[in-house]
């Protein structure tokens, strides 16, 4: 077995379901807190600062410090290094940072209808009013994160996952059994292709961190066995001068053998920056929570056919 990436809503009674998966698969369990701790050690940033990357709001001086982008870069690096271990389950915001090039990963979404979540929050002593307010904030944080990382408006978009597992309609045993049986399939076994993809992810993450330290928070890196492609995602003046600076920074990173530069589709949109626009803080209520939304158990095509 290889990697399970779980993204869950709060108060979905997700913890018993996760425990069931861990018990049935014997996997190593990592949370956002684990990845944040590793990222803090790698970057020198405090865990508190890195945790702010998961919030919809933007740090006050982010346009000068690039704190949020740097936090995401080091979260990627910490995550990439953690992926070198086989048979792991990563639960949280950071699970969505794993690139699609790692093809033997099983992506799962554990969620429940709003009524069920409000009820679960009430069991912890929270009032209905406070529960709804908390769920709106939780939805806003997750929607902003998914929009910034994957350019999707809906954190519960089925296309992002191999499985949608509603805890209000499935038992923990059903969820754990389904995940464990699915992971036994050949398509989820660690392969040499995945090993290389993880190594490339590590290198690309190191490069992005180096670039952001130099102020280039609108550039993404892709690596292919030492060959690196840097993509500029914001309209800039003196592009050739910028590209020379990017190349000079990237070649200093150990493992880089060749660097090419290009502009991305966002280069032609002067009001869009890489991942998180520091001049466009999230507006409360921008991502409304649909109280009537119903979630059903769904499987992706590759799980059904694999």
Pick the CATH number of 194-268 from 3.30.300, 3.40.190, 3.30.70, 1.10.3470: 3.30.70
- The phi and psi torsions of 255 (rounded to 5 degrees) equal 105, -15
What digits encode the pLDDT tens for the residues 199-250?
999 999 999 999 999 999 889 999 999 999 999 988 887 889 999 999 999 9
- Label residues 277-297 b or e (16+ Cβ within 10 Å = b): bbeebbeeeebebeeeeebee
What digits encode the pLDDT tens for the residues 89-144?
999 999 999 999 999 999 999 999 999 999 999 999 999 999 999 999 999 999 99
Decide yes or no: CATH 3.40.50.300 for domain 3-192+288-305.
yes
Query: Do the Cβ atoms of 30 and 91 come closer than 8 Å?
Result: yes
The full set of domain ranges for the chain reads 3-192+288-305, 194-268
For the chain, give the percent of residues with pLDDT over 90. Answer: 75
Query: Do the Cβ atoms of 298 and 166 come closer than 8 Å?
Result: no
Stated as kind and residue range, the H or E segment containing 29 is strand 28-31
- Integer distance in angstroms from the first to the last C-alpha of the chain? 14
């Amino acid at each position: 077995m290889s990697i399970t990436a779980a993204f869950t809503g709060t108060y979905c009674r997700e913890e018993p379901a996760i425990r069931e998966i861990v018990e049935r698969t014997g996997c190593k369990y990592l949370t956002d807190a684990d990845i944040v701790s590793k990222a803090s050690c790698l970057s020198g940033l405090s865990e508190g600062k890195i945790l702010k990357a998961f919030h919809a709001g933007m740090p006050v001086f982010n346009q000068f410090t690039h704190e949020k982008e740097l936090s995401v870069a080091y979260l990627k690096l910490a995550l990439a290094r953690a992926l070198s271990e086989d048979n792991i389950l990563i639960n949280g915001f950071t699970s969505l940072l794993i690139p699609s090039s790692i093809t033997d990963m099983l992506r799962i979404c554990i969620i429940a209808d709003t009524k069920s979540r409000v009820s679960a929050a009430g069991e912890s002593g929270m009032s209905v009013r406070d529960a709804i307010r908390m769920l709106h904030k939780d939805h806003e944080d997750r929607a902003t994160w998914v929009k910034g990382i994957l350019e999707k408006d809906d954190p519960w978009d089925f296309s992002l996952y191999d499985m949608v597992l509603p805890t209000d309609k499935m038992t923990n045993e059903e969820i754990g059994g389904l995940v464990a049986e699915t992971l036994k399939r050949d398509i989820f076994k660690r392969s040499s292709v995945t090993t290389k993809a993880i190594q490339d992810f590590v290198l690309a993450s190191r490069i992005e961190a180096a670039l952001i330290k130099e102020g280039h928070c609108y550039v993404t890196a892709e690596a292919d066995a030492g060959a690196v492609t840097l993509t500029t995602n914001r309209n800039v003046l003196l592009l050739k001068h910028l590209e020379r600076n990017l190349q000079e920074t990237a070649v200093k990173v150990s493992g880089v053998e060749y660097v090419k530069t290009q502009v991305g589709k966002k280069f032609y949109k002067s009001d869009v920056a890489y991942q998180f626009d520091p001049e466009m803080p999230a507006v409360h209520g921008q991502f409304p929570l649909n109280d009537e939304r119903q979630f059903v158990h769904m499987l992706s095509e590759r799980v059904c056919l694999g």
